[in-house]
Structure 1
Amino acid sequence: MSDEGLSRRQYLTTVGGATVALSVAGCSGNGGGNSQTIVAGTAPGFPPFEMKEGGDLVGFDIDLLEAVVEQTDYSFEGWEEFEFDSLIPALTNDNIDVIAAGMTINDERDETIDFTDPYYSSDQAIVVRGDGSFSPGSLSDLSDRPIGAQKGTTGEGVVQDELIGDEITENQYNAYDSYVLAIQDLENGNVDAVMIDVPVANTFAANRPVEVAFTYETGERFGFGVRTDDDARQTALNEGLSAVQENGTYDELAQKWFGE
């Protein structure tokens, strides 16, 4: 993951170098509930960013957001769990204040919500069974194969934009509520490949009988999602991101969860 690490540091240098003139002291958000609190939403099943271990919610996003909020004047009030494609509605309906779920910043989402500065960068990986004979090296090699991805993700976007209609039929695409389910279906032979973010693919490959066949470059950037009218929380979180990068917390968490 050295390439991702370099890209990550590029983005964090930008974040760390930005100065925030507005103090978060006394700021009030526009969401429901206490204006000085933050309730976060996530979608477990995306290791190592967010997952359940022994019933506990853990992962890089979990640790990072909590560390970021500690650097602000907001009080962190806990986590709510959703399916990935339900996170944006939960945010816009004021059920949560922040999305922390390895969510890629893109134009379509940016029409509905805003994002913090990026905190991680990634590409897509194509994962196959480790003991299988299928070893694709490009998207064209996926022709006429059943392919899986998680609903609402960049991986699904790549499948829909680059594969369906050209390489595979609509019926050959399998959409899942989580990547855990997608990988299980891959292991069981119901799909031949799964499109998934590189660090998540590497985590599955280290713990399950699957492997990364090749990487498809997308240049994604992950950000925390906030409401479009919630400038106060957005500013506070950006300031917190800068702080955890500067004080070494970010690198400690990256080492813990990615071995970077």
Structure 2
Amino acid sequence: MAVDILCVETLNTDSYKYRSMTPDANIDRRSYLKAVGAVGASGALAGCTGGSDDSDDGGNNVINPGTAPGFPPFEYTQDGELVGFDVDLAEAAIERAGYEVGEWTEIEFDSLIPSLTQGNVDLVAAAMTITEDRQQQIAFTDPYYESDQAVLVREGGDLSPESVDDLAGAVVGAQSGTTGQDEVEALVDDGTVAADDVRQYDNYTLGVQDLENGNVDVLIIDIPVAENFADGRAVTIAFTIETGEVYGMGMRQDDDRLADINDALAEMQEDGTYDELVTEWFE
């Protein structure tokens, strides 16, 4: 599938190389994004970018985003503050499109789509894979990231699987509502894993804690998040499952502001803003 704003190229099955166009100047991330947002807002006033009064929200210039923390480095809580790649990317895109960033809503991942369709949030930024099932409920922006799934195990543990066939008899976990859970369900369907040996978590931070404590043998999780946990916790990536997923931000299907957000994402890819964020959060 052709995508317009992906900025990664696959090197092998378990790592990605990011093409960075980071400015030479060493500036604070928040200051940089604030400046970017100011440019977007001034463009809207000039009639160059931004929403119009005939959007589905009746002219409301505020976009209230929602996410599910516990998925570093995309979205997580640090010192009581919501941070992450998706947080910065969404805020920059909203401001670049000429809108105001409203209040973030933090809920469980599998509650994000219902919250969006019910109007409790206007945009979902949560490393959400674009799937046919989800597209029947919500609209997605153009893809902004790609990933496969990783099989995460306890460092120094007894289980050292090299393929899904080696997971027979293992206790396997994933975050509910994710494509990682889809992979676990596939293992149950083909008889590799027993249904009683499946564990579901509200977020992957809880799953990693269980993995470290020996309460679960395996977690199936997106590669960049698995790499993040492996860098700071007593877990390691055993192997990867190629799924070819792409992430998009979610909006309601009748929200005319989607086109403005897509334009903003494309501009950020072209002018190096996207690469700046990739460098900050992944390198």
**Do they fold alike, i.e. is TM over 0.5?**
yes
Q: 2:52 aligns with which of 2, 26, 35?
A: 26
Which residue number in structure 2 is paired with residue 244 of structure 1?
268
**8 A contact 1:8–1:119 mirrored in 2:** no
Alignment partner, residue 170 of structure 1:
195
How many angstroms does 1:63 deviate by?
A: 0.6
Determine if the alignment matches structure 1 residue 108 to structure 2 residue 141.
no
User: What SS does structure 2 have at the residue aligned with 1:123?
Assistant: strand
1:84 aligns with 2:109: yes
1:59-115: CA deviation from partner (whole Å, max 9, x where unpaired): 000011111112112111131101000000000000000000000000010010010
- Does 2:183 align with 1:161? no
The one-letter code sitting in structure 1 at the alignment partner of 2:240 is T
Aligned equivalent of 2:119, options 71, 88, 94 = 94
Q: CA deviation at 1:144?
A: 1.0
- Equivalent in 184, 191, 208 of residue 183 of structure 1: 208
1: distance between equivalents of 2:215 and 2:166?
18
Find the residue that maps to 2:224 and give its secondary structure. Answer: helix
TM-score of the superposed pair, with normalisation by structure 1? 0.89
Question: Which AA in structure 2 matches 1:237?
Answer: I
Deviates more, 1:54-63 or 1:66-75: 66-75
Structure 1: stretches of 5+ with no match in the other structure: 10-21
Q: Distance in 1 between matches of 2:274 and 2:148?
A: 20
- Report the secondary structure of 1:255's partner residue: helix
Q: Which residue of 2 aligns with 1:208?
A: 233
Measured in 2, the distance between the counterparts of 1:7 and 1:117 equals: 18
Q: Secondary structure at the match of 1:78?
A: coil
Q: What amino acid maps onto 2:56 in structure 1?
A: N
Is the Cα–Cα contact under 8 Å of residues 75 and 126 in structure 2 kept in the other structure?
A: yes
Q: Find the residue that maps to 1:47 and give its secondary structure.
A: coil
Q: Distance in 1 between matches of 2:91 and 2:258?
A: 15
Deviation, structure 1 residue 37: 1.1
Aligned Cα root-mean-square deviation (Å): 1.9
Q: Deviations over 1:206-240 (max 9, x none)?
A: 0100000001000000000000111x221011001
- TM normalised by structure 2 equals 0.82
- 1:235 is paired with a residue whose SS is helix
Secondary structure of the residue aligned to 1:211 is: strand
Count, aligned residues: 245
Give, in whole Å, the separation in 1 of the partners of 2:211 and 2:246. 26
Instruction: Note the C-alpha offset of 1:162.
Output: 3.2
Distance 1:253 1:125, change over 3 A: same
CA distance in 1, matches of 2:51, 2:139: 21
Counterpart contact for 2:19–2:275, Cα < 8 Å: no
Structure 2: give runs of 5+ residues left out of the alignment.
Answer: 1-7, 21-47
- The equivalent position to 1:39 in structure 2, one of 64, 76, 83, is 64
| Partner Cα separation in structure 2 for residue 27 and residue 139 of structure 1 | 52
Residue 28 of structure 1, CA deviation: 4.0
Q: Which amino acid aligns with 1:36?
A: N
In structure 2, the partner of 1:19 is none
Aligned to 2:172: 147
> What letter corresponds to residue 55 of structure 2 in structure 1?
G
CA distance in 2 between counterparts of 1:153 and 1:25 reads 31
Q: Which has the larger radius of gyration?
A: 2
Would the alpha carbon gap of residues 25 and 112 (structure 1) be closer, same or farther in structure 2, given more than 3 Å must change?
closer
Query: Judging changes above 3 Å, is the alpha-carbon distance between structure 1 residues 27 and 235 closer, same or farther for their aligned structure 2 residues?
Result: farther
* Partner Cα distance (1:158, 1:117) in 2: 24
> 3-state SS of the aligned residue for 1:67?
helix
Q: Distance in 1 between matches of 2:100 and 2:54?
A: 12
Cα 1:125–1:252 shift into 2, 3 Å: same
Shift >6 Å, 4+ stretches:
none
